[in-house]
Structure 1
Amino acid sequence: MNKETSEKKLFYLDGIRGLAAFAVVIAHYIQVFYPAALNGRAEQAHFKWDIWYGHSPINLFYNGQFAVCLFFVLSGYVLSVKMFETELDNDTFQKLLHSSAIRRYIRLAVPAAVSVLLVYLAIITNAFHLQGIWGITWTDMKKDYYALDTNLYTVIKAAIFDPFFRFNGHPYNPVLWTMGYELLGSFLIFGFLAVFGRVKKRWIVYVVLSVAFIQTYFVAFLWGMLLADLLKHKWVQSKLAAILVLFMGIYLGSAPYTSLMGTMYEPIEVWTNHINQWIQFNIDSRMLARTLGSAMILFALLRIKVLQHVFGWKPFAYLGQISFSLYLIHFTFLNTFSAFLFSKMIHHYSYNLAYAITFLVSMVPLFILSHYYMKYIDQGALKLARTVEKKMMASASTSTPTIKQKNTSM
């Protein structure tokens, strides 16, 4: 694979990742300011179309769980594609696996930890204003940041340990619930590649693991890796098939948060119930639909050049570069700056106009902060990860001759 092809792939994959991150941002603003668009309750609606667009494919643009599933599928693909797309000798293959595994924790942990410290600073400076707008927005998100423990040991533990080993939510920065899946999902990929990456009949393993993980987010990583594995197969290159898969992916990925029964998404619920009865599982129909939809959309993107040009557009590619930073800090920013701004705007404008002003004005400082977070925290973590990797690999290479020498002397 030449450099030009590599850069093209990087750009359009960055683009779709960036749009997914922005969808999570929109999802949380919708959760706070237009809760009926998520929960379908008419008594919480601020706009007459809230419930309608919440039950339509439009919700794909603010469907947070779909966006997270897409993150996981992308991770599975990106972490494994180098192993499948070129013919590597066994030593190179193992070195790539080792280097990827060494870098992964630091790459995720440093930016995540700093995001928790920002929450701590916001608490001790009384910067959170979410409570002040609960009664106006009618949101279900009743998070009291000032009830959190500000003991420094607790905060440090929440910064470096909890995001990766606590799967029941994160008290300080709720978006960090995905970090544990990202880390363990990454090692699922590395483990699969190390054990089965060169096995010709690994399709059997894909099937077995898909059944084993079908009730969890880990299946998204597995299916992302499967997409990388299928990339060179000619029998999955049909453009017409890719277009059909794209539309099916949009349909599945936009499954709403409310009950699917009585909506255009009812067949998803019906078929999932049949599967649950057949294999005695308790599969979440919406999570399965969004995961499968994410995999289908990425499948189509990898085969439709027009989509690659669209998602490779420079603004989208830039959005992808800041996507991790945007994802990590937006929730805290929403509950501080945006909540404060809305509390002022609502006294002068109608609800919808106050929200529009709040959202548009908020995006400017949020993107500026995300840019510098990316530049200094995210990229700093990458540099640190590479430095640690080099030292560990160098240490391993220098220790090997010593062992051989001892064995020779014996």
Structure 2
Amino acid sequence: MSASVNHEVMPKKRFEFLDGIRGWAALIVVFGHTMVGVIALDAPDFVHQIYLKFITHAYLSVMIFFVLSGYVLSISQILTTKRNLAITTVARYFRLLIPVFVVTVIAYLFLKMGFFYNVESSTTEEAKSWLGRFYTFSPDIIDALRFAFFDTFFNYDGQHTYNSSLWTMPVEMMGSILIYSYIAIFRVMDKIYWLVAAVLVVYFYNVSPYMFCFMAGYMLAELKIRQRNFTNGITQVLLVLLFIGVIFYDTFNRPATDQGNCLEAVILIFCISYSQPLMHFFSNSFSKYLGRISFSLYLIQIVVICSWSSYLRIHLPAYGFGIYVDAIINLISTIAICIGFAHLLTPVDIAAVKYSKIIARKILYIKTGETKPVEIG
């Protein structure tokens, strides 16, 4: 494990499966929120089938996002020969901000034009507890801009939000800073301080499970860079069995704590990282497509659920199809619209990745008056 690694020959293709995992996790978030948050209000028997338990577990998917963020950010920092803590931190903010800003504007326009039906649709206490909580305020453009640029990342308020999915953004920013800072301080000259990382993993597991996800992602990245694959046939079988075992456990004994959900996320990603069949599945063309649209899909889903899905919940019963046909129509159309929206928004996400570091460099050069950034590491 202590052998040096030639970063120059690391093929990017080796890590494509990470995008695939993110894509499927985003799809599960959409599926879970639509099923549990909307369809279960009228057709609980349709939703609460034992075989649907895992793929409606949206919260676990969010924990997977956090582990993946730690994993991917660590790889990008470890494999680069030049690091700059200030630039990467500011760039991370703009990389997240640009898609957040666009989706916030969409939500503002929907609210302004009366396209949200979630409050009208929420006629029971069960519905009001989740679906009916959103978009209960009057739209204000200054408020929306402040939300997108500042509140989302530094002062998020779940009671006054233009997108309830954005509760994860403060965690993403804090976790990103944790990873960048750790690597800048402890990952120098290809030396790894395993003990320090392990202590932090244990500490965060008990104190801050979300940060545990990021640090666990860092350790997974270090391991993957050094131990490319397990070729032993028995090991491959055991990895698939462990992956299935976690799904089985989550189905019949879903963890009630953040720690349990975070640990499940880490184990699932570990299994995929070293299992050839699982890596192949999460690297196929459809998985990679889901990965490309994953952030946009995650951001837009609550807008679609509070508009289209809620509208259908109000008006579909009048056609007399029955609750189960209504449920299928709502589910399929919601997922299709979310994917369509996400596909259209993907160029925004690509632009955010492309221009975030450019913006960060320009801001920091102007602010410091330097012509060249100070390299860290």
What's the TM-score once normalised by structure 1's chain length? 0.77
1:150 is matched with which residue: 116, 121, 139?
139
1:222 to 215, 223, 231: 215
Relative contact order higher in (CA < 8 Å, ≥ 6 apart): 2
Q: What whole-Å deviation, never above 9, does each CA across 1:130-153 have from its counterpart, x for those lacking one? A: 133324895342435453143333
Distance 1:253 1:98 in 2: 39
Distance apart, 1:190 and its partner CA: 0.4
1:188 aligns with 2:184: no
1:62 to 56, 63, 66: 56
CA–CA distance in structure 2, aligned partners of residues 246 and 173 of structure 1: 36
Q: 2:89 aligns with which of 101, 125, 128?
A: 101
- Output the CA distance in 1 between the equivalents of 2:337 and 2:53: 25
Aligned to 2:32: 27
Contact 2:19 2:291 in 1 (8 A): yes
Q: For residues 166 and 356 of structure 1, do their structure 2 counterparts lie closer, same or farther at Cα, with a shift above 3 Å needed?
A: same
Q: 1:174 to 1:251 in 2, by over 3 A?
A: farther
SS at match of 1:143: helix
- Alpha-carbon spacing, 1:232–1:387, altered in 2? closer, same or farther (3 Å): closer
Equivalent position of 1:365 in the other structure:
337
Distance in 2, Cα, partners of 1:228 & 1:197 = 12
Letter in 2 for 1:132: E
Are the equivalent residues in 2 in contact too, given 1:330–1:366 (CA < 8 A)? yes
Q: Is the 8 A contact 1:66 1:254 kept in 2?
A: no
1:301 CA displacement: 1.4
| Bigger CA radius of gyration | 1
1:344 shift after superposition = 2.3
Change (3 A) 1:390 1:166: closer
Please identify, of 204-213 and 311-320, the stretch whose mean Cα deviation from structure 2 is larger: 204-213
Say which SS state the counterpart of residue 43 (structure 2) adopts: coil
Q: Secondary structure at the match of 2:267?
A: helix
Asked if 1:319 corresponds to 2:285, the answer is no
Cα distance between partner residues in 2 of 1:301 and 1:162: 35
Partner SS state of residue 148, structure 1 = coil
Cα contact 1:148–1:172 (8 A) shared by 2? no
Q: How does 1:155-194 map to 2 (within 5 A)?
A: 155-166=144-155, 169=158, 171-194=161-184
CA shift at 1:387, angstroms?
A: 2.3
- CA shift in 2, pair 1:393/1:157, >3 Å: closer
Amino acid at match of 1:18: G
- Residue 362 of structure 1 deviates from its aligned partner by 2.9
Equivalent residues in 2 for 1:306-345, closer than 5 Å: 306-345=277-316
Rounded to whole Å, the distance in 2 between the matches of 1:190 and 1:384 is 19
Letter in 1 for 2:266: A
Show the counterpart of 1:41.
none
Deviations 1:258-294 (A, max 9, x none): xxxxx9438x6xxxxxxxxxxxxxxxx5321221111
Does the Cα contact within 8 Å between 2:35 and 2:331 map onto a contact in 1? no
33, 43, 47: which is aligned to 1:46? Answer: 43
Q: Is 1:15 aligned to residue 20 of structure 2?
A: yes
* One-letter code aligned to 1:162: D
Q: Post-superposition shift, 1:64?
A: 1.1
Name the counterpart of 2:354.
383
Deviation at 1:183, TM superposition (A): 1.0
User: What is the deviation of 1:400?
Assistant: 6.4
- CA deviation profile, 1:324-381 (whole Å, cap 9, x unmatched): 0111011111110122133222222111111111222233332222111111x22232
> Quick check: 1:253–1:289 contact (8 Å CA) kept in 2?
no
Distance of aligned partners of 1:61 and 1:22 in 2 relative to their CA distance in 1, 3 Å threshold: same
2:4 aligned residue: none
Equivalent residue letter for 1:223: A
1:203 equivalent among 194, 207, 218: 194
- Count of residue correspondences: 360
Alignment of 1:224-303 (within 5 A): 224-234=217-227, 237=230, 240-241=234-235, 243-245=237-239, 247-249=241-243, 251-252=245-246, 264-265=252-253, 285-303=256-274
Contact 2:156 2:170 in 1 (8 A): yes
Structure-to-structure mapping, 1:130-141, within 5 angstroms:
130-135=118-123, 139=127, 140-141=129-130
Give the corresponding residue for 1:128: 116
Query: 1:325–1:374: 8 Å Cα contact kept in structure 2?
Result: yes
Quote the sequence identity (%).
26
Match of 1:407 in 2: none
Deviates more, 1:361-370 or 1:197-206: 197-206
Unaligned runs of 5+ residues in structure 2 are: 1-6, 373-377
Displacement of 1:81 after TM fit? 1.6
The one-letter amino acid paired with 2:273 is L
**Which AA in structure 2 matches 1:203?**
W
Q: Is the 8 A contact 2:67 2:266 kept in 1?
A: yes
Counterpart for residue 404 of structure 1: none
Aligned to 2:103: 115
Shift of 1:28: 0.8
Ranges in structure 1 where 5+ consecutive residues have no aligned partner:
36-43, 257-262, 269-284, 402-410
The CA deviation at 1:394 is: 6.8
Aligned in 2, Cα 1:340/1:396: closer, same or farther, shift over 3 Å? closer
Residues 66, 253 of structure 1: 8 Å contact kept? no
Shift of 1:322: 0.7
CA distance in 2, matches of 1:159, 1:82: 26
**Which deviations, in whole Å up to 9, do the C-alpha atoms of 1:307-338 show, x marking residues without a partner?**
12111111111111011011101111111012
TM-score, normalising length: structure 2: 0.83
Tell me which amino acid in the other structure corresponds to 2:213.
Answer: A
